[in-house]
Amino acid sequence: MDSLFVKKENAIKSSILLKGGSLLFYFSLAVFFMFVMLYAGLYFLNRAQNQAKTEMEIQIEVKGQEIKPELLDQIFSLESKTKNIQKIIGGHIHSLNILQFLEKKTLPKVRFVNFNLGVGNRVLQMDGEATNYESLTNQILIFQQDPQVEGVRFEGLTLGNNNLVNFRITINFKDSILKINPQ
């Protein structure tokens, strides 16, 4: 009876070993097929991307041939001319800034009747008329306080027609007023 019991026990052990071995086999087989499918997926993905890359290169080549060489030459020439114009304008003397300065800073009771601008030395000489001495003094103070002005000098103070104060004023400007202001 013991031998029957031992045989039965050996049969159970061999059945468990067979089941365990078959589980390991099936697991290994599943992992193998997963790797095969992963490899196949990557292969087809790579192939599709290479095909898309080739098609894109063909389209770029076609578009490149559509652009006329003369047009490209014109584009590069225009770019070069634009850069040169920017350099020229950057160093260009811009006297309009002085006119805008006078427009903003001149008081209503003061007017200028003669205008002489020396661009090289940045000096503006003007003859003017003011309704009274107080207006003239205020006008001179406004010019003196402006950061673009280096100095203000007035002379030739006389009382003219219609009781207007006649004067001559000389304004020395800084370099920055003659440069084009970037907007």
Output phi, psi for 114, to 5 deg: -140, 145
What is the tens place of the pLDDT at every residue in 100-130? 888 899 999 999 988 888 877 889 999 999 9
Record the pTM.
0.49
Ranges of beta strands (E only) in 1-142 are: 110-118, 123-130
Q: 96-178 domain in CATH 3.30.1360.100?
A: yes
Q: What is the pLDDT of residue 45?
A: 92
Per-residue pLDDT band for 6 (boundaries 50, 70, 90) equals: low
List the domain boundaries for the chain.
1-66, 96-178
HSE on the CB side for 158, CA within 13 Å? 6
Per-residue pLDDT band for 182 (boundaries 50, 70, 90) equals: very low
